[in-house]
Amino acid sequence: MTFTRHTLRRSAIAALALTALTFATRQHAAPDPAARFPTKPVRIVVPVAPGGSADKLTRTLAEKLAVLWGQSVVVENVAGASGTIGAAKVAKAAPDGYTLLQQGEGITLNSILFRDLPYDTNKSFTPVIKAVVSPQILVVHPGTGIKSLHDYIARAKAQPESISLGLPGNGGIAHVAHEILSQETGAKVNYIPYPGGGPATVDVLAGHTNATLITLAAVTEYVRAGRLRALAVTTSYRSPALPDVPTVAEAGKLPGFSVESWQGYFAPAGTPPDIVAKINRDIQAVLKTPEVRAQLEAQGFKVAGGSPADLATSLQSEHPRYAQAIKAAGLSLR
């Protein structure tokens, strides 16, 4: 075969075209790091003891995310110091999306209550999603003889500190909510802090403490079974999970009383935005499945969702209110 200059030229052009096509194909097929995420197990740090509402929520999501991602999702309980030990652990983790922090309004409360933290609340974390919102609920052991919020307030005023109230975390949202109640009614109780909702619930079930104010989802099953008596929820609305339980505003004749807690997820600061966005989308996808939504709503949660920016805005808006309540109560943690 005789190669002319024209033939060689056409061959060269064809070769260049093939090379360009191959390169473009490879570029198009090159996997986006965010699209491939995760390629190894993901760890979610829950900064309270097992058994409480935060733990239940996270384990529900972890199970479904593991199926969606095809990777293990490990829930690690790191309790202590009102959640700051677990938060500090995540703050120091690699910002790659493989270590997440479960937190709620406690992340704001701790920034107000603690003089020195092992992390900078405003700079150490990247908001991912507000997953759910929920009332706090005041429950008592049936053996106390307290049958209503009116009874509870009356006893706490007539016999100050005679009621022992287990707190799922010193300085947490339950503590702040009860302080607001105390400021408005004059009721005084004996606060007993626990490292989480699970241990606090166990002791009131056993009668070692008289009451607890806790996220509704942590005790719904015990109220339904009659093992705990529910007095009121802290939100402005009743919970569909326990529709017969009145609000504090209703039962205590305290118009405008409202405290709503939430649970969400954070990543270490510096985590790539596309990774944060993917985790947000995938958690929302799990929350929207009928099975998970029904399961969470039956426990007393209300699915929230929204973008990372929505969570950041929520953090900014709640800080002034809680700071005012904490200052009025004279609360501080070292």
Q: Where exactly are the structural domains of the chain?
A: 34-133+261-329, 135-251
Quote the pLDDT of residue 334: 62
Task: Compare 138 and 333 and report the one with higher pLDDT.
Answer: 138
What CATH number belongs to 34-133+261-329? Answer: 3.40.190.150
**Quick check: 93 pLDDT over 80?**
yes
Closest CA to 138 of 65, 216, 77, 79: 216
The 8-class DSSP code of residue 270 comes to T
Q: Which of 23-32, 139-148, 169-178 has the lowest mean pLDDT?
A: 23-32
pLDDT at 29: 46
Domains 34-133+261-329 and 135-251 share a fold: yes
pTM: 0.83
By CB atoms closer than 10 A (0-12, 13-18, 19+), residue 14 is: exposed
What mean pLDDT do residues 51-74 have?
Answer: 95
Q: How far is CA 100 from CA 104, 144, 245, in A?
A: 13, 41, 34
Q: Which two tokens mark 31?
A: 């996997």
- Provide, rounded to the nearest whole percent, the portion of the chain with pLDDT above 90: 80
Strand partners, 212: 139, 166
> Domain 135-251 sits in which CATH superfamily?
Periplasmic binding protein-like II (3.40.190.10)
Residue 10's pLDDT is 52
Cα 206 from Cα 223, distance rounded (Å): 14
Whether the pLDDT of residue 247 is over 90: the answer is: yes
Q: Flag the least confident range among 92-96, 123-127, 191-195.
A: 191-195
Nearest alpha-carbon partner for 96 in 225, 297, 275, 242 = 275
| Summary mean pLDDT of the chain | 90
